[in-house]
Amino acid sequence: MYIIVVGAGRTGSKVIELATQDDNEVVVIERDTELAEEVSVTYDCMVINADAASKEILLEAGIEEADALISTTENDSVNLMISMLGKQYGVENLVSSINDPQHIELFGDLGVNIVESPHELNGQYLYRAVQRPKIQDFMEIAGGAEIFELTVDEGAPIAGLSLSDADKDGLLPEETVIVAIVRDGELLIPRGGTDVQAGDTVTVFARNGANDRLTAAFTR
């Protein structure tokens, strides 16, 4: 993926680390000269030392070709402006940290995937929001296992199947367990005969993490 990361502070640096480790093409925009230099030395990415809240700088970063734009500054107004510009240029995946919970609705109306109260750990959440945009929340467990939550799409391969049938069809990798299903506001503790329906919010434990094969079962 072609990813633009705005901000190289604690949250941004974690995003940059994860994104470059996965061999994505990463462009970083950081207005602090010292931080910009540190990133250029530490990570395999292009760094632009400038203020990202500018069309010219975002165009220089290649926003017209970007698959994702991740804004991690400590200023919600700046993050919102950057997200608005990203939407204007048709970036499919807009992700932002948010510092004041009162601003959640503003970002949500724009279609931005958000993470509250940024810190180093939340860099993982921001990057995961780009990797797996359908995942609403996740928690990493020791050894690469993850617990995550997502909503089943209409027309998803697993929609309409019981868990037993989904397992027989090979939709769920080994050591994957659907822990809970929320349907119409009601919590269900699933068993083998429980069916999965479009619109269900499912909580999944995956020993090997939320890989493409697993998430594809729940998406159209």
Please tell me the pTM assigned to this model. 0.66
- The residue among 147 and 35 whose pLDDT is bigger is 35
pLDDT in tens, 74-100: 888 899 999 999 999 999 899 988 888
**Nearest Cα to Cα of residue 220 among 136, 158, 165, 174:** 158
Give counts: helices (H), strands (E), the chain.
8, 11
Answer yes or no: is pLDDT of 122 > 70: no
Q: What is the pLDDT of residues 160-210, one digit of tens each?
A: 999 999 999 999 888 888 988 999 989 898 988 999 999 999 998 888 887
**DSSP tag of 174:** T
Q: Set out the domains of the chain in order of their start, with CATH numbers.
A: 2-131 (3.40.50.720), 140-216 (3.30.70.1450)
